[in-house]
Structure 1
Amino acid sequence: MSESFFARAHDVVRQIPAGRVASYGQVARLMGEPRKARFVGFAMHASPGMAGGVPCHRVVFADGRLAPGFAFGGPGEQRRLLEDEGVGFLPDGRVDIERFDWEAAQ
């Protein structure tokens, strides 16, 4: 994957407001790359994280699961960051997508 793909993914993720989440596939679609959700994951893993202004903790799987390999402290840290922003979780540990999904302008 090219650096420009990663930069474009980071640009989309920077738009996700606090208290909202987007799926890897949603980010890929917003980039015009609908079949590259997995590469969005690679871009999040390689991102500078919040220190670089990329709130990659706001990107989750389409079913609300958290990334098992969250690069900035594991899934416990991803959950803590989301909870700090007011994101709610279902009893099974998934993000409540119906309530907290980011409705980005297409």
Structure 2
Amino acid sequence: MTKKYSFFEDVYAVVKLIPTGRATSYGLIANYLGTKMSARMVGWAMNAAHGLPDVPAHRVVNRNGLLTGKAHFATPMLMQELLEAEGLKIVDDKIQDFANVVWDPIKELDV
């Protein structure tokens, strides 16, 4: 029996590669997976990932570095707290200096 394709599992595999202290966007993950227009689906995958302890969903934000997924964490501040514990500075729900901490899987994974 062949395994059924799972977009969410592909998203989680990429998210697991994001280094500590870095962050990426829904769109960059979608682009890496060859589905550039499916950033929203990546967001749905992240919303479903909160029960998976090995998927660092807190490292995935919107294209501007905004913590748009924070409402889906156990507490409203947990996403920010996890990012700050990794050395990122957050002001008004936005990663500061996002351009210098963004992790683009296409560039970082030499695709």
Q: State the TM-score, normalizing by the size of structure 1.
A: 0.85
Cα distance in structure 2, aligned partners of 1:5 and 1:67: 21
Report if the CA contact (8 A) 2:22-2:102 is conserved.
yes
Deviant stretches of 4+, over 4 Å = none
Cα distance in structure 2, aligned partners of 1:93 and 1:71: 14
User: 1:21 aligned to 2:35?
Assistant: no
User: 1:8 aligned to 2:10?
Assistant: yes
Report the 3-state secondary structure (helix = DSSP H, G, I; strand = E; otherwise coil) of the residue aligned with 2:37. Answer: coil
Unaligned runs of 5+ in 2: none
- Of Structure 1 and Structure 2, the greater helix share is in 1
Amino acid aligned to 2:64: D
User: 1:98 aligned to 2:99?
Assistant: yes
Q: Do the aligned partners of residues 75 and 58 (structure 1) sit closer, same or farther apart at CA in structure 2, a change above 3 Å counting?
A: farther
Aligned to 2:81: 80
User: 1:42 aligned to 2:44?
Assistant: yes
Unaligned runs of 5+ in 1: none
Q: Do the aligned partners of residues 20 and 69 (structure 1) sit closer, same or farther apart at CA in structure 2, a change above 3 Å counting?
A: closer
Report the 3-state secondary structure (helix = DSSP H, G, I; strand = E; otherwise coil) of the residue aligned with 1:66. Answer: coil
> How much does 1:82 deviate?
0.3
Q: How many residues align?
A: 103
Q: Do the aligned partners of residues 21 and 75 (structure 1) sit closer, same or farther apart at CA in structure 2, a change above 3 Å counting?
A: farther
Report if the CA contact (8 A) 1:49-1:72 is conserved.
no
Cα distance in structure 2, aligned partners of 1:42 and 1:50: 14
Cα distance in structure 2, aligned partners of 1:79 and 1:88: 9
Q: State the TM-score, normalizing by the size of structure 2.
A: 0.81
